[in-house]
Amino acid sequence: MAIEVRIPTILRTYTDGAKAVEGTGDTIAALLTDLETRHTGIRERIVDGANGDQLRRFVNVYLNDEDVRFLDGISTKLADGDSVTILPAVAGGSGRMPMPDVSATL
């Protein structure tokens, strides 16, 4: 069962720069375990918990464009031909930018 996994830039050091890799598994958890056999260290960047049984807080995983947190999380079932996308969450900013001083240009 071939599943395409899209890798974010920050994790490509684990995949020798590859933007996408193939993996196998009947669940997200099994897929991540499979990826770990060829891309050592990648799994611990994605999962957390005492048993590695939950997604890290700031990592989003999508199955065919649907967030797995709204499905069955790491236990979400996979099928041949599925596409999994791993994305780090993006946050930051103060919420309001100061207005530039344009009085010198008037």
Identify the CA nearest to 30 among candidates 47, 7, 49: 47
Which regions of the chain are under pLDDT 50?
Answer: none
- Give DSSP secondary structure letters for 31-54: HHHHHHHHSTTHHHHHEESTTS-E
pLDDT in tens, 53-79: 788 888 899 999 899 999 998 999 999
Q: Is the pTM of this model over 0.85?
A: no
Query: For residue 56, what pLDDT is reported?
Result: 86
Cα separations (Å) of 43 from 20, 86, 102, 105? 15, 11, 50, 53
